[in-house]
């Protein structure tokens, strides 16, 4: 069996008499565990040649100005030309970003990503006339074009333009907004570089006497420590460091929120929430409905937290730093990447042989799809990136635990969703909405836990798996709903001119943190320091993104249960109407066609019943 290089999980090096935990360099990671950006460009020289060609080609798009309404065939030629350049630009940007994310300290990769962003701005400016010009046509003409076979790939786009007519501006205004897009990305880019590379983090000595440099990866590891004093120290030092930089973080997040609010106003939306949801035909009432549908079940969440306290044998108050360790003494399994290669396809068998074959291909050593282990300078977390016509590239930070197994399953759900959408749809309809993106990934997690629970008879191991599922529910449904409520209130405060200072953001976050975790009911003691946690969450820079984790979890749970109960016909319906659908319909309609109606209370009730039933089972097994 292959093993990760020493250092990924803690290679020891002597430092002042104490051993130190250090991440390996990129060169120490065997190639079989690295992704292959060569699927996009052979090397940086080829990338640079393409950058120069794009720089020369983008201005040529001006040739179509004033000619888009002459005929359906002429419009089809123009849109296809624009999309060919867009695809090339996406490859250029993806290659630079993948290099950067494996070492955010690299000035070369950073310069490449900046150059790609500039070309995106140039492309946006060069094509800013397209939508105003199309909307200058009569409605009947646009509808006729949408029905023309020459524009079959663009019918959704043209009809969407009609729906969004009120929010598309004139040529000059669209060019101005396109030019400002690079500035709009700056707060997140600064945050990402600062939090990943430049922020000074403290060290601590773990229970084995090793000096550990805190980082996002090390925080994620040690917050799960079974040693209470250790995780308490990690929390205090990690969040203390964030508190020290709180004014920097508030400026970055405030700048990002101000940008999205500016764009919403410029496009004549009533507010930023409407600008994020309405283009996808999602009513803004859905957002508050989602928060209400979850928070009415906080009692069930508090019951689970009380159970955790008992399982962890905590005397006195349960604190926020007690939230992450697995609350079972036995069943603390380690999962190597090689075990994940076998388990994940087995768990996905309900989706059929085509799906599992793709999974095995992605997971194979040397496939080039996955970047498995953490290394020095590598971006934290995990994601899947896809460029049309190429296999996805998946970033992981695998640390041989159940969370790593679950995260790999999750990200491969995204990767195969992209693969199947790209195979099933033409380029203009392949890029599925963010609203549907999390469904495919969380669906896979649901099948994984069902598979593991289904084969496990040992009470100890069932306790472990139930704990893992309930904690996943906590982290995805209750935690992300808290994030969603924080984000909504932060935008509202900005709109009201109240200012987003570090202290005001921390007060808001602490208020929500305490309500969700039952501080006033004595369920969990949430100390004031942890109000700074908002500074740690990158998704707050994504413009109303986090609620989609919640809706995705609820929809995925309902769809997975449907597939498990109804078998192959339901699986085929899910694959054809969801995974292969791209953006060929509105996201709510895609989910409805796949088998779940998110505008009803039924999927929420079903998911909460499952949460409660598994809490009860864990209670019974733990008596």
What is the model's pLDDT at position 329?
64
| Confidence at residue 164, expressed as pLDDT on a 0 to 100 scale | 85
pLDDT tops 60 at residue 2: no
Q: Set out the domains of the chain in order of their start, with CATH numbers.
A: 32-190 (1.20.140.70)
Quick one: pLDDT at residue 361? 98
The residues carrying an active-site annotation are: 411
The residues, ordered by sequence, that sit 6+ positions from 304 with a Cβ below 8 Å of its Cβ are 470, 474, 611, 615
The pLDDT score that the predictor gives to residue 337 is: 97
Q: What is the token pair recorded at 287?
A: 């957002």
Q: What is the mean pLDDT of the chain?
A: 92
Q: What is the pLDDT of residues 460-515, one digit of tens each?
A: 888 988 998 999 899 999 999 999 999 999 999 999 999 899 999 999 999 999 99
Q: Where are the beta strands (DSSP E) in 416-498?
A: none
| Contact assessment for residue 114 and residue 137, using Cβ atoms and an 8 Å cutoff | no
How far is it, in rounded angstroms, from Cα 230 to Cα 217? 16
Query: Confidence band (pLDDT; 50, 70, 90) for 402?
Result: confident
Task: Supply the pLDDT for residue 29.
Answer: 94
Cβ contact 277:484 at 8 Å: no
Instruction: Please check whether residue 12 is in contact with residue 349, taking contact to mean a CB–CB distance below 8 angstroms.
Output: no
- Quick one: what percent of the chain has pLDDT higher than 70? 96
Model pLDDT, residue 552: 92
* pTM for this predicted structure: 0.82
SS3 383: strand
Is the CB of residue 224 less than 8 Å from the CB of residue 324? yes
Environment class of residue 59 by beta-carbon count within 10 Å: exposed (0-12), middle (13-18) or buried (19+)? exposed
DSSP characters for 40-76? T-SSHHHHHHHHHHHHHHGGGGGGGTT-TTS-HHHHH
Q: What average pLDDT does this structure show over 203-226?
A: 91
Q: How far apart are the C-alpha atoms of 218 and 211, rounded to whole Å? A: 12
Quote the pLDDT of residue 179.
Answer: 83
Q: Are 275 and 269 in contact (CB under 8 A)?
A: yes
> What confidence tens digit (pLDDT) does each residue in 405-450 have?
999 999 999 999 999 999 999 999 999 998 899 999 999 999 999 9
Residue 12 has pLDDT above 50, yes or no: no
* Model pLDDT, residue 169: 86
**DSSP secondary structure string for all residues of 238-293:** HHHHHHHTHHHHHHHHHHHHHHHHHHHHHTT-SSHHHHHHGGGT--THHHHHHHHH
Taking only the tens place, the pLDDT of each residue in 318-351 is: 999 999 998 886 656 789 999 999 999 999 999 9
Per-range mean pLDDT, top range of 159-168, 332-341, 373-382, 410-419: 410-419
Looking at residue 318, its pLDDT comes to 97
Write down the pLDDT at residue 3.
32
pLDDT, tens digit, 9 for 90 and up, residues 532-557: 999 999 999 999 999 999 999 999 99
Strand, helix or coil for residue 387: coil
pLDDT computed for residue 21 by the predictor: 57
């Amino acid at each position: 069996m292959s093993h990760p290089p020493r250092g990924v999980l803690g290679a020891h090096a002597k430092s002042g008499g104490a051993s130190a935990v250090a991440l390996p360099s990129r060169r120490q990671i065997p190639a079989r565990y690295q992704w292959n950006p060569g699927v996009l460009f052979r090397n940086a020289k080829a990338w640079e040649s393409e950058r120069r060609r794009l720089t020369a080609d983008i201005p040529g798009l001006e040739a179509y100005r004033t000619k888009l309404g002459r005929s359906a065939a002429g419009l089809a030629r123009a849109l296809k030309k624009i999309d060919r350049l867009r695809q090339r630009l996406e490859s250029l940007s993806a290659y630079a970003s993948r290099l950067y994310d494996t070492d955010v300290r690299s000035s070369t990769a950073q310069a490449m990503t900046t150059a790609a962003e500039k070309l995106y701005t140039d492309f946006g400016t060069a094509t800013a006339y397209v939508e105003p010009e199309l909307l200058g046509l009569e409605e009947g003409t646009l509808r006729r074009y949408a029905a023309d076979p020459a524009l079959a790939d663009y019918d959704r786009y043209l009809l969407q333009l009609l729906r969004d007519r009120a929010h598309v501006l004139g040529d000059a205004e669209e060019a101005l907004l396109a030019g400002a897009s690079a500035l709009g990305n700056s707060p997140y880019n600064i945050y990402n570089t600062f939090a990943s590379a430049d922020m000074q983090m403290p060290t601590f000595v773990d229970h084995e006497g090793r000096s550990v440099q805190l980082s996002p990866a090390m925080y994620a590891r040690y917050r799960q420590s079974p040693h209470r004093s250790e995780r308490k120290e990690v929390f205090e030092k990690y969040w203390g460091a964030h508190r020290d930089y709180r004014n920097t973080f508030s400026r970055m997040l405030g700048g990002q929120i101000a940008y999205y609010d500016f764009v919403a106003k410029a496009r004549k939306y009533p507010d930023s929430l409407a600008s994020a949801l309405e283009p996808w035909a999602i009513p803004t009432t859905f957002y508050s409905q989602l928060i209400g549908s979850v928070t009415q079940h906080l009692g069930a969440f508090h019951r689970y937290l009380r159970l955790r306290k008992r399982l962890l044998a905590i005397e006195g108050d349960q604190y926020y730093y007690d939230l992450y360790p697995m609350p079972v003494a036995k069943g603390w399994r380690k999962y190597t990447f090689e075990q994940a290669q076998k388990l994940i396809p087995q768990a996905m068998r309900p989706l059929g042989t085509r799906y599992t074959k793709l999974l095995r291909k992605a997971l194979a050593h040397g496939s080039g799809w996955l970047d498995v282990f953490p290394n020095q300078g590598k971006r934290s977390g995990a994601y899947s990136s896809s460029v049309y016509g190429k296999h996805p590239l998946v970033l992981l930070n695998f640390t041989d635990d159940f969370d790593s197994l679950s995260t790999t399953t999750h990200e491969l759900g995204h990767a195969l969703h992209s693969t199947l959408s790209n195979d099933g749809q033409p380029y203009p309809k392949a890029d599925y909405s963010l609203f549907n993106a999390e469904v495919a990934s969380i669906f896979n997690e649901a099948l994984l836990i069902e598979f593991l629970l289904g084969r496990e008879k040992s009470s100890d191991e069932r306790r472990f798996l139930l704990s893992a599922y309930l904690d996943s529910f906590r982290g995805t449904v209750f935690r992300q709903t808290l994030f969603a409520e924080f984000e909504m209130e932060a935008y509202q405060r900005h709109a009201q001119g109240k200012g987003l200072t570090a202290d005001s953001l921390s007060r808001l976050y602490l208020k929500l943190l305490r309500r969700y975790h039952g501080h006033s009911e004595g369920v969990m003691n949430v100390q004031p320091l942890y109000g700074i946690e908002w500074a740690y969450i990158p998704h707050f820079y994504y413009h109303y993104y986090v609620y989609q984790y919640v809706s995705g979890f609820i929809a995925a749970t309902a769809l997975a249960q449907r597939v498990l109960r109804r078998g192959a016909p339901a699986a085929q319906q899910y694959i054809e109407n969801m995974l292969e659908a791209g953006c060929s319909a509105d996201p709510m309609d895609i989910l409805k066609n796949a088998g779940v109606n998110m505008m009803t209370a039924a999927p929420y009730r079903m998911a909460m019943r499952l949460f409660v039933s598994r809490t009860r089972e864990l209670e019974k097994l733990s008596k």
